[in-house]
Every structure is written in structure tokens, then in C-alpha cells.
């Protein structure tokens, strides 16, 4: 049961990243779009926290944790760079 709840939360975090980017792209100003990019970054951080809980509870391996952390960091760097380009 604990794993199901955590897995469900992780799926919602990942979906939130995608949906925030999509919703923000429809905004008329870069400032508004940037707010959605920041929300997406927050969802990435939430996903990393969920993965940290998963490894702490031995629901995933250290190797899986490392891989997921690297993927999250890569996405966060890309979004962070994009966010900087949106700023005036």
C-alpha cells in the first residue's frame, strides 16, 4: 500500500511537470510562462523527494535512485536555463 501511494504521487509529480510547461506555453507573456516553469521545477523537486523516500524504504535500489536523480537534475537544468532566457 505504501509503495502504491508513493508511486501514484510520483506519477502525479511527473504529470505536473508536463502540464505546467504546456499550460505556461499558452500564456501571453514570458513572465507568466516563467511562473509555470518555476512550478514545473517545484514538481521535479517533489519527485526527487518521493524517490528519496522510496530508496530510504528500500522500494527501489540505490542504482535506480542515482539514475532517477540524474534524470531529474538534467531536466531541472534544462528548465532552469529556459527560465533564465524568459527573464527580462
Q: How far is CA 15 from CA 43, 46, 53, in A?
A: 9, 12, 19
The whole-number average pLDDT for the span 55-82 is 96
Predicted confidence (pLDDT) at residue 57 exceeds the cutoff of 80: yes
Q: Are 23 and 14 in contact (CB under 8 A)?
A: no
Q: How confident is the model at residue 4 (pLDDT cuts 50, 70, 90)?
A: confident
| Grid coordinates of 77 | 537544468
- Residues 41-78 as b or e (16 or more Cβ within 10 Å = b): bebbebbbebbeebbeeeebeeeebeebeeebeebbee
Q: How confident is the model at residue 87 (pLDDT cuts 50, 70, 90)?
A: confident
**pLDDT tens-digit series, residues 6-43:** 899 999 999 999 999 999 999 999 999 999 999 999 99
Amino acid at each position: 500500500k505504501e509503495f502504491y501511494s508513493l508511486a501514484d504521487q510520483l506519477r502525479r509529480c511527473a504529470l505536473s511537470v508536463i502540464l505546467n510547461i504546456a499550460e505556461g506555453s499558452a500564456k501571453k507573456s514570458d513572465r507568466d510562462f516563467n511562473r509555470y516553469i518555476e512550478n514545473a521545477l517545484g514538481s521535479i523537486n517533489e519527485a526527487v523527494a518521493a524517490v528519496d523516500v522510496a530508496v530510504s524504504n528500500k522500494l527501489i535500489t540505490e542504482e535506480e535512485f542515482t539514475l532517477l536523480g540524474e534524470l531529474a537534475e538534467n531536466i531541472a537544468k534544462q528548465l532552469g536555463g529556459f527560465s533564465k532566457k524568459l527573464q527580462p
